[in-house]
């Protein structure tokens, strides 16, 4: 609970938690700070938007329709409620009335059960990003707003998150091949809905957002009872923590350049001494293919011990008078079907020649048993965690070693690109953005 009065944060001349409709000029000013974007011409890829049909994302679409014409709305139907298909079609009709092309994305393999919200979120983002790649979009606009940011910071503070966690969500999150952009973080939920009311645009309210069986919903409803000055406190805390996070990420990038070398095989060479804890945590996250870094206390213990160990799906080895960080074999993803563009183990993207017969072709770890001449003299424990292609239970290619089985000549040219979900150094944008347009 925040006891003292907090001054209202101002964003492009307006109170962040004002209930007044968002002007087109204010939205355009905000977007100008989040570029650069492709020219607004049909021969360039469109800017994509994730539109659920709710008040936040539909307001984003409405504002964006006046900002530029070359847009693509992506509407995801989770199929978890009987009426979801009808709501998706209704949303597409509303987008078409705004002259925004829309594409329906249906999730067919999402089952009800434990961790439903988390699994739905992961499936939604995976499908959205795949659609962006299909249409050549490099920017995806999301409808998170000021209340979402303040709520996230409040929840993280209640769970004793560190300073970087209190940054909440960024204006821009950079992922491989795409930027996730949240242009509404300076506008309140109520302001967005009032914008739609003023424009006589209806939206869909998802009943799951009021289902108090979900802990996140219960926490959100508690947060909504707070006064604007309390929300302002957490919004400001998120902005301040975001500035701190970007400063630390710049420092981390400088240290990485000095003390670590990332290898295309997914290993990291760290020199004779382990780097600082923050850098070490970032390396563990990327090499382990994780979305979040390990607990800082565990990284501190590992650094203090300075001995070979495993942590968060990675393995530390002292090899030829230097530390090596590699994937832990037991933690790697199971085998999966090989397709062009498949992401395996949250770290490697597969690219296959057009002539390859994909039926029965699988991706899995290379494992042990590779002849020394195939390993090019490298130790077996390093090669065991490389991605490999398998067919009928037999290893047929290890692209990082340049090896292809004699009976699979079409696999020459196949490659795995190391592209973890979260890169070691970040280009994300947190905190206050410039407001001098």
- 387, 385, 379: which is closest to 415 by C-alpha? 387
Mean pLDDT of 253-270: 90
54 marked as binding residue: yes
19 marked as binding residue: no
- 185, 182, 175: which is closest to 153 by C-alpha? 185
57 marked as binding residue: yes
55 marked as binding residue: yes
CATH H-level superfamily of 10-244: HUPs (3.40.50.620)
Distances from the Cα of 149 to the Cαs of 182, 201, 422, 432, in angstroms? Answer: 10, 25, 21, 13
Q: DSSP code of 184?
A: B
56 marked as binding residue: yes
According to CATH, the topology of domain 260-329 is Chorismate Mutase Domain, subunit A (1.20.59)
42 marked as binding residue: no
The predicted-structure confidence for 82-123, as pLDDT tens digits, reads as follows: 888 999 999 999 999 999 999 999 988 777 777 777 788 888
The predicted-structure confidence for 316-363, as pLDDT tens digits, reads as follows: 999 889 999 999 999 999 999 999 989 999 999 999 999 999 999 999
Helix (H, G, I), strand (E, B) or coil at 391: strand
- In this model, does residue 304 exceed pLDDT 80? yes
Least confident of 24-33, 221-230, 233-242, 420-429: 221-230
Q: Assign residue 289 a region: left if phi > 0, alpha if psi is -120 to 50, beta otherwise?
A: left
Distances from the Cα of 418 to the Cαs of 14, 265, 287, 387, 400, in angstroms? Answer: 44, 7, 9, 10, 10
Helix (H, G, I), strand (E, B) or coil at 180: strand
Domain locations along the chain: 10-244, 260-329, 333-418
Helices (H), 78-187: 84-97, 116-135, 146-158
Give the strands of the sheet with 387-391, arranged side by side. Answer: 336-337, 361-365, 387-391, 394-398, 403-404
């Amino acid at each position: 609970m925040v006891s003292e009065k907090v001054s209202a944060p101002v964003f492009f001349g307006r109170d962040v938690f004002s209930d007044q409709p968002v002007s087109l000029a204010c939205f355009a000013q905000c977007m100008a700070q989040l570029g650069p974007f492709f020219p607004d011409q049909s021969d360039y890829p469109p800017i994509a938007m994730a539109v659920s049909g709710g008040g936040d994302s539909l307001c984003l679409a409405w504002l964006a329709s006046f900002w530029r014409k070359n847009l693509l709305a992506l509407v995801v139907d989770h199929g978890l409620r009987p009426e979801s298909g009808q709501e998706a079609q209704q949303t597409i009709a509303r987008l078409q009335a705004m002259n925004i092309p829309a594409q329906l994305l249906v999730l067919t393999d999402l089952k009800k059960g434990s961790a439903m919200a988390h699994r739905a979120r992961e499936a939604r983002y995976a499908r959205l990003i795949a659609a962006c790649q299909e249409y050549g979009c490099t920017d995806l606009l999301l409808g998170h707003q000021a209340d979402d940011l303040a709520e996230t910071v409040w929840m993280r503070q209640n769970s004793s998150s560190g300073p970087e966690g209190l940054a909440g969500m960024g204006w821009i999150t950079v992922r491989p091949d795409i930027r996730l952009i949240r242009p509404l973080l300076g506008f309140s939920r109520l302001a967005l809905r009032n914008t739609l009311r003023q424009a006589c645009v209806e939206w869909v309210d998802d009943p799951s957002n009021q289902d108090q069986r979900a802990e996140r919903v219960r926490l959100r409803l508690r947060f909504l009872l707070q006064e604007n000055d309390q929300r302002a406190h957490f919004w400001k805390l998120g902005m301040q923590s975001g500035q701190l996070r970007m400063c630390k990420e710049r420092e981390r990038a400088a240290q990485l350049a000095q003390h670590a070398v990332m290898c295309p095989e997914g290993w990291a060479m760290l020199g004779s001494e382990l780097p600082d804890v923050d850098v070490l945590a970032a390396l563990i996250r990327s090499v382990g293919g994780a979305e979040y870094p390990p607990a800082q206390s565990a990284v501190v213990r590992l650094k203090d011990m300075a001995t070979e160990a495993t942590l968060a799906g990675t393995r530390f080895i002292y090899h030829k008078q230097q530390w090596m960080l590699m994937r832990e074999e037991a933690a790697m993803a199971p085998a999966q079907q090989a397709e062009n563009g498949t992401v395996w183990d949250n770290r490697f993207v597969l690219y296959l020649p057009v002539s390859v017969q994909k039926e029965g072709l699988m991706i899995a770890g290379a494992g042990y048993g590779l002849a020394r001449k195939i390993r090019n003299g490298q130790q077996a424990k390093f090669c065991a965690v490389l991605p490999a292609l398998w067919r009928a239970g037999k290893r047929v290619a290890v692209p990082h070693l340049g090896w292809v089985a004699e009976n699979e000549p079409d696999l020459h040219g196949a490659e795995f690109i190391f592209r973890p979900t979260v890169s070691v150094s970040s280009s994300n944008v947190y905190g206050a953005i410039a407001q001098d347009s």
